[in-house]
Every structure is written in C-alpha cells, then in structure tokens.
Amino acid sequence: MADGTILLEQPVPEGSLQATNFFNGRLLEGSDFTREQNARAQADERLGQAMGAGVAFGLTLKEGLEMVAEDGENSLGRPIIVEPGLAVNALGQAMRLSSRQQVQLTRPPAANDGTLASGCGPFGACSALGTGTYVAGQGLYILTIAPAQMRSGRAPSNGISGAAVSCNIDQVIETVQFRLLEVPASLYNFLPATADDFRNQIAYRCFGEGVKADWVTHLLARGPRGNDLVQDMAANGLGEQEVPLGILAYTGADTIMFIDAWAVRRPLVQQDSGDRIGSLVEPYRLANGMAMLRQFQDHLATEVGAPVSLGDVRARSHFPYLPPAGVLPNFSEEQALEFFGGMTIRGPVHINGPQVEPLLRESQSAPAIRSADNEVVWLYAVAANRMAGAVAAGDPDTADPYLIFARGDLAYRGNARFNLHRWDYANFALT
C-alpha cells in the first residue's frame, strides 16, 4: 500500500489526539497526565479554530488618566484601559480577560517570580512571540492580546532529588498578556500623519483592497481578501497567537492622536480562503463590512461630537472612503448636505423603520464609497423618527434625530408614497 493511501473505514493515525487510557491497576507517571491534558487542550483548540479568530465580545479600549511614578515626579504616560472580554487566536486558543485592566505601555521588569511571558499554551507547539515595542513614541502601534502563563506555588513531592526540585510547581496558570507592536513607517509613510484624512486612510489600509469597488473588475486575478496592513505586520512581529485589539497613533511619547479599534478588530470569523469566486460569499467579507461601519461611526463621533459641530469636517477632506451605508446621528438635513459637500447627494427621502436594519445589513457586502467620486449617495430619513418630533436635546422620552446614507447602487428604499394626513413624509416617484 502506498504512503498516504488508506482503505474505507480505516482509521487515519496522522494528526490524531493521543489520550491516556486509564484502567484499574495501571501505574501512572506525570507524563501520562500531561498527555491527557495535551489531548484536552488540542480538542479545545480544534473547536476554537472552527469558530474562527477574532474578538468574541468585550476587550474595548479607551485612554486612561496619566500615571505618575512612585517618586511622584516621573510621568509613566497614559495607560490604555482594556475592558473584560474574550478573544480566540488563529491557533484556536481562547483568551479570557475577566476584569478591566489598565495597561501601562512600558516593558515590565525581568520576571523572577515564575511568570512565563510566552505566547504558547502549556501543551501546544507554537513559536515564541517576538519582541514588542513597549515604550510608545511618535508613530503607529497595534495593541494585541496573546496567551501567557504563570507558575504558582510548590506541590508536595516524594523522591525528587535536590537538583530537580524546581519542577515541583503546584499550578501552571493560563492567562493573557498585552503587546504593543510598532507599525514600520515604510508601511504607511506615503500617508502624511498630519493630514485630516490620516485615520481614515490607515483604516482602509487595514480593510484592504477587497472592500473597494474596483476589486471585482479583475476578480479572476485577485488573491484572498484580507486586512492588508495587519497581514504585512506578520513579517514585523505579529504572531498567529495574537489578536489585534486596536491601532494607536502617537504624536509623542505621551500624546495619543487616536485609538482606532475597528480598523483591526474583527469578530470571530474564518479568514478568506483565497478562492476568488468563493470570496464573494464567504463570511469574512461580511465581518469586514461590519467593521467598516463600526469604524466610521466611532471616527465620526470623535470628529463632530454630540451635539454635532461640523467645523471643517467634510467627507471629502476627512473621509476619503466611507462605508457603503452609515448613520449620521443627530445630523440635521443641512448639516448632512454640508458634510457631503461637493458629492452627488439625493434626498433625504423617507423610509419606514423596518427598512433600516435590512439596508445596513445588505450594505455589509457592498464596496466602500470613494468620496472623491461623483457616484450618487442617497440620504434617507426614517419617517417614524421624524414623526416622533425628534430633537437633539437628549430628552429620554423623545427620539433623537438621525439620517442614513447609502450607495446609490444599493436597492433604492424611498418608494413613492402619498398620504394626505402625513403630507410631510410623502415620497414622489423618481423620474
């Protein structure tokens, strides 16, 4: 029988789980229990790999208050606050953060307390994590979460010589660590860091070419869709044991220009398989589309605030790329038209409330809007929202106003409607 050839119903030994067979009278050694733990850990990792890599929930980021050293004089900079949550890496390892943590972005002192700051689980075979950049300075950085281990206590033992006494560790604790990786300037130095559109351009470097309208033009020559900048970081220290949580842009050692989580954060999803036709329907593209929407909403809120103050913020100056559909919270019609100044805008026309979610869900597989183009963008107002007497004053009993924008080639939702009792919410037929 040739190598690699088996018969029907013949077990395949390669890649199998090897568990200890327990029976009465068997003499057991430490290696027997280790083998059993290995099998259970590998089974869990297979389940994790089936779910896909990314953030399951939580692990949101925000900037903390400046920290001061114990001497009361030296600043330790601003920490990053990470909320509790769960992530799964590409190896299938689940990483749980059970409480809020303030992450000081400096390298810890050399551990001599039994801490094992490695990226490997206790039983899995994986490469060691590279050295991260733990003192932030001017530039771009990616904050990641990765597995780590700690050793705790000493176990009672018998028959262990003094030379081997270091092995009688009571517990090996699986936990997590955070790493800060500098993004080499060569990956983005064609984008001026002081430009108004810098954050948007960096985000769409992460979303990749696969979200742009011309991707399907040369569909049969395309490779897999992916997070282009994040994938480039694999050659610059980002390990498959890690899950990115956010991009941090620093203008100095203690000054954060922005924290952009959704540029690199993804829900649990399998990566694009590389099948060009299959990539049109694989779930990774929907996950990327959802991230585009969330990234825009966070970025917009940072730029215009609440109540809305546009200032010099415009789509064409600050958002070279827009998600295929998005929400403009608390925007008046005048503010929306001003925000999209120079673009081809139609509306707002009225839609019913039940149309909102289908529109946004459909948009997750559509390409991004390039704001410099002249393609039509529709503005929609939700009739029930306006009929509720929407105001921006924050009255909890009154609906706050919002508008929705969408690519012109998404299915048109503003069907003609005429109602004498609700004349202000009628739509006229397109001509």
User: How far is C-alpha 181 from the geometric centre of its chain's CA atoms?
Assistant: 16
CA distance 91 to 223: 23
Phi, psi of 112, deg, nearest 5: -130, 20
Output DSSP code: residue 278: G
Q: What is the dihedral of CA 276, 277, 281, 283, to 10 degrees?
A: -20
Q: What is the dihedral of CA 27, 30, 35, 41, to 10 degrees?
A: 130
pLDDT number for residue 275: 83
List the structure tokens of 254: 């203690």
pLDDT digits (tens, 9 = 90+) for 20-31: 888 888 888 888
Alpha helices in 27-185 (DSSP H): 30-51
How far is CA 301 from each of CA 48, 193, 203, 323, rounded to the nearest angstrom?
A: 34, 20, 16, 15
List the structure tokens of 251: 């203008």
Phi, psi of 324, deg, nearest 5: -60, -20
CA distance 237 to 133: 10
CA distance 307 to 332: 11
Residue partners of 386: CB distance under 8 A and separation at least 6? 350, 401, 424, 425
Would strands 376-382 and 344-351 be described as parallel, antiparallel, or unpaired? parallel
- Domain ranges across the chain: 32-122+129-153+168-203+227-249, 272-425
pLDDT digits (tens, 9 = 90+) for 373-415: 989 999 999 988 887 764 555 566 677 889 999 999 999 988 7
Of 79-88, 92-101, 132-141, 305-314, which range is least confident? Answer: 132-141
Mean of pLDDT values over 185-202: 91
The label of the residue with tokens 């092995």 reads: 167
Residue 118 reports pLDDT greater than 60? no
Phi, psi of 178, deg, nearest 5: -115, 145
How far is CA 262 from each of CA 188, 201, 288, 294, 326, rounded to the nearest angstrom?
A: 18, 13, 9, 6, 15
Mean of pLDDT values over 353-363: 94
Pair 48, 93: CB distance under 8 Å:
yes
Of 97-111, 135-149, 409-423, which range is least confident? Answer: 409-423
Output DSSP code: residue 110: P
380 or 271: which leads in pLDDT:
380
* pLDDT mean across residues, the chain: 84
Give 151's pLDDT tier (boundaries 50, 70, 90).
Answer: confident
Output DSSP code: residue 190: T
Of 203-207, 230-234, 289-293, 427-431, which range is least confident? Answer: 427-431
* pTM (2 d.p.): 0.84
Phi, psi of 124, deg, nearest 5: -75, 150
110 or 125: which leads in pLDDT:
110
pLDDT number for residue 121: 40
CA distance 63 to 66: 9
Among 69, 100, 294, 125, CA closest to 178: 100
Pair 248, 140: CB distance under 8 Å:
yes
Pair 249, 199: CB distance under 8 Å:
yes
Q: What is the dihedral of CA 291, 293, 298, 299, to 10 degrees?
A: 100
CA distance 225 to 218: 13
